[in-house]
Amino acid sequence: MSELLARHRAVIPNWVGLYYNDPIEIVSGKGNRVVDADGKSYLDFFAGILTNMIGYDVPEVREAVERQLATGVVHTSTVYLLRGQIELAEKIARLSGIPDAKVFFTNSGTEANETALLLATYARKSDQVLAMRQSYHGRSFGAVSVTSNRSWKNNSLSPLNVHFLHGADQHLAQFRGMSDADYIAACVDDLRHVLSTAVSNDVAALIAEPIQGVGGFTMPPDGLFAAYKEVLDEQGILFISDEVQTGWGRTGSAFFGIQNHGVTPDMMTFAKGLGNGFAVGGVVARGDLLDALHAAGVATFGGNPVSMAAANATLDYVLDHDLQANAARTGKIIIDGLRAAAQRLPVVKDVRGKGLMFAVELDTPAQAARFMEETKKAGLLAGKGGLRGTAIRMAPPLTISVDEATEGLGIIVNALEVINAEAA
């Protein structure tokens, strides 16, 4: 064990997982690549953890942050007018498509979801919430209650009365072989059944990820949430789309993941990539919902000037370079390539994805671990996860070039070939 790993083990909780048998320390980054302490370079196909949305050491972001630092104001307080915060909120409100939207900034996705749940339960005077099976929404008391994987919940108690819906588990035996339309109809039946049997009074909200991130990039079929929304609207149930992983054009086909379903939610939560590494999260919601929570106070560091400088520069970069289109173009090369490889590699059980958010499902957690080691050796970083620990999750920066997409695809396919040969 390296000296740094021993020190990590001594002072960091053991549930803070590390990737790789010999975990790496990243010491620098440029473009879409990072370098570890031994000088080895990696193409980052996980973008940190979807945090480095436009890559590393981007001059536009660095200069915006440096300009802010040069003013001497790292942070004062949200009791003063903050130009960067107002500008960013204006952009996000416009892009969200939510009518009369306002934005509340937090420091993380967990805090954003906590705020959205607080808004919804307050507005509807109900502690009843709907969430999706296999979801992940964060580590706080409310966010963990709407998270649906026993191991991620750590047997925690729940402050909310949560009912979990089907919608991202089309692979289960009871749904296998169904068309998307039939599966959606079955899920809507289930939703209606839950609403008439499981809940004990009005329901505040449904919270859902358009593509389940930690759940292994599990993909509810397009249109599912539009079908759900019709039922929710009948009962005035609010809809919160957790866009922490799916926002800002990552799926290629839409700017926010939920737009793939033709739905405008009441609230969206975001974090991860927006600050390109700087901590920015938030909720964009109908103004009346956000205004109603007048007594909630501020998040001391939410919307701080340095994070806002980074986030404004990042979002401008995404829009100026039409990175949504790049996600669609480069993602298609990779997903098509993976699907072709899967035809001849039986070890690959599933290839799924949209834009630059794609996953490969293997048979066993040991194979997933093997994949991680093989790709690391070849100079590519990926993520693993999913309910059974068999999904390989990949989400490169939205800035990857066609050449980098092809290079990454080659490394992934080589690793899958090795694992397939070993399994034969």
Angle at 250 between CA 246 and CA 252, to 5 degrees: 120
Task: Please identify, using beta-carbon distances, which residue of 62 and 139 lies nearer to ligand PLP.
Answer: 139
What whole-number distance in Å separates Cα of residue 404 and Cα of residue 393? 17
| Distance, CA of 312 to CA of 54 (rounded, Å) | 13
The CB-of-118 to ligand PLP minimum distance in angstroms stands at 15
Strand 101-106, strand 357-361: pairing: unpaired
Instruction: Write each residue from 274 to 303 as x if it is in contact with ligand PLP (CB under 6 A), else as -, in one continuous string.
Output: -------x----------------------
CB of 101 to ligand PLP, least distance (A): 20
Question: Which residue among 52, 245, 307, 312 contacts ligand PLP (CB under 6 A)?
Answer: 245
Alpha-carbon span 362 to 353, nearest angstrom: 15
Tokens of 102: 């306002």
Closest CA to 25 of 46, 42, 11: 42
Closest distance to ligand PLP from the beta carbon of 311 (Å): 14
- The CB-of-304 to ligand PLP minimum distance in angstroms stands at 15
Binding residues for ligand PLP restricted to 85-144, rule: CB under 6 A = 108-110, 113, 136-138
Query: Which CB, 133 or 321, lies closer to ligand PLP?
Result: 133
Minimum distance between the CB of residue 138 and ligand PLP, rounded to whole angstroms? 4
For ligand PLP, the closer of residues 266 and 404 by Cβ is 266
Task: Give min distance, CB of 158 to ligand PLP, in A.
Answer: 17
Rg (CA), the chain: 21
Find all residues with CB under 8 Å of 405, minimum gap 6, and list them. Answer: 330, 331, 333, 334, 396
Smallest gap, in angstroms, from Cβ of residue 196 to ligand PLP?
Answer: 29
Q: Hey, which residues between 152 and 211 contact ligand PLP (CB under 6 A)?
A: 209
Per-residue DSSP letters for 208-254?
E-SSBTTTTSB-PPTTHHHHHHHHHHHTT-EEEEE-TTTTTTTTSS-
Q: Which sign does the torsion angle of CA 355, 361, 366, 371 carry?
A: negative
- Measure the CA–CA gap between 163 and 339, rounded to whole angstroms: 35
Query: Interaction with ligand PLP in 358-377: which residues (CB under 6 A)?
Result: none
Tell me which residue has tokens 């926010």: 256
Among 169, 242, 266, 361, the residue binding ligand PLP under the rule CB under 6 A is 242
C-alpha–C-alpha distance, residues 283 and 120, integer Å: 12
Angstrom distance (rounded) from CA 276 to CA 318: 11
Question: Given strand 26-30, what is the order of strands in its sheet?
Answer: 26-30, 33-36, 41-44, 380-381
Report the amino acid identity of residue 26: I
Q: Applying CB under 6 A, does 214 fall inside the site for ligand PLP?
A: yes
CB of residue 392 to ligand PLP, shortest distance in Å = 16
Nearer Cβ to ligand PLP (93/211): 211
The nearer residue to ligand PLP, 17 or 72, going by C-beta atoms, is: 17
Instruction: Tokens 């790993």: give the residue.
Output: 5
The residue count of the chain comes to: 424
Q: At closest approach, how far in Å is the CB of 143 from ligand PLP?
A: 7
The site that binds ligand PLP (CB under 6 A) totals a number of residues, namely 15
Shorter beta-carbon distance to ligand PLP: residue 213 or 265 = 213
| DSSP state at residue 220 | P
Tokens of 202: 């009005």
Q: Please identify the residue of the shown chain whose CB is closest to the bound ligand PLP.
A: 109
Q: Output 135 or 420, the one with its CB closest to ligand PLP.
A: 135
Kindly tell me which of 166 and 272 has the beta carbon lying closer to ligand PLP.
272
Which residues bind to ligand PLP, rule: CB under 6 A? 108-110, 113, 136-138, 209, 213-214, 242, 244-245, 271, 281
